[in-house]
Amino acid sequence: MANTTFELFTTQFSERLKSPLPGEMAHRSMQANTRNRMHFKPNDRTRNSAVLIVFYPHEGDIYFPVILRPSYDGVHSGQVAFPGGSKEPTDPDLVHTALREAQEEIGLPLEDVQILGRLTEVFIPPSNFLVLPVVAYVSYRPRFLPDPREVADIYEIKFSEISQQSIIGSSKMMVRGEAVTAPHYALHGQKIWGATAMMISELLSVYQTP
């Protein structure tokens, strides 16, 4: 992809992120059925966190990475997610949290990252996280260095592919002993669902706004 094409993409995205965000309206299409019928709110024990959605050009297309969480005794075991995590006391803000976590988890070179803006925060009731999605870019394909303690695999997602309706499906799964039906994006043999799918839905909605 010519640099001018990627530059146009990032410039347009930056401008669109300055407009009012679709938020819950965009999230709704990828929400699990349990979330649709219950009213969840952050509380005094909610932990602030952030994830990084970072675009880059490669082989004539635009990509962003997602990670596969390792299997562990926790609600997000084995799930596909954006790199990110909890805000630490030393983080000056949540943008810094997203950048720090991306560097720790996938080895992203922070000196080359440019921030485009933010999406709407998403509350995750099972883990009691309030997550800020930070949108950024680098002008080249990074060399990813996954931390094996936190990342089982990295998938490079084509932005043109994630917007196809044909990859959207629905799954039944057990979450903390409760049967949940959730929409998902099916890519790379994985199902992207939950908060990550809701963030992608808003990302696409912002991009498709004239």
Q: What is the pLDDT of residue 172?
A: 83
Residue 35 DSSP label: H
Global confidence as pTM: 0.93
Q: What is the pLDDT of residue 145?
A: 97
Q: What is the pLDDT of residue 171?
A: 84
Q: Is the pLDDT of residue 37 over 70?
A: no
pLDDT average, residue stretch 109-134: 94
Alpha-carbon distance of 125 to 102, in angstroms, equals 23
Domain made up of 3-159+195-208: CATH architecture: Alpha-Beta Complex (3.90)
Q: Answer for the pair 80, 155: CB distance below 8 angstroms, yes or no.
A: yes
What are the boundaries of each domain within the chain? 3-159+195-208
Measure CA 145 to chain center.
Answer: 18
Measure CA 34 to chain center.
Answer: 21
